[in-house]
Amino acid sequence: MPYHSTPLDLAFHALSDPTRRAVVSRLVEGELPVSALAEPFDMALPSFAQHLKVLEDCGLIASEKRGRSRWCRLVEARFDEAADWMVSERRRWTERLDRLEVYLDKTEEDDEGHGKPV
């Protein structure tokens, strides 16, 4: 596995897997024990636990032992960081595309003013 240098890189790596995204989707509803989280997946518990480890290592989920069960929950702060990054990137690209549109409109106007075909 390649080295991921930032928490944001780790979060996006973790969310690149459909099983881990499904786990996150289930945890949106609230905390669940690992046994309940693993139930819908057709894989051995040790394999499923590796998915949970990836999510926990990057800070997207946290778990704690309660009696004989391990319970998992989402950690909203890491999701907020990813969302903030996406909003920032979207804003940046929207601004760039807006400037491109202005430039193209001006170029088209200049071409029409000089009798050049569009």
Alpha helices in the chain (DSSP H): 7-15, 18-27, 34-38, 45-57, 76-113
- Higher-confidence residue: 108 or 87? 87
Per-residue model confidence (pLDDT) at position 112: 80
pLDDT (tens digit per residue) in 40-50: 999 999 999 99
Residue 26 has pLDDT above 70, yes or no: yes
Residue 116 has pLDDT above 60, yes or no: no
Per-residue model confidence (pLDDT) at position 111: 81
CA dihedral 93, 98, 103, 109 (to 10 degrees): 150
Q: Span 79-86, mean pLDDT?
A: 87
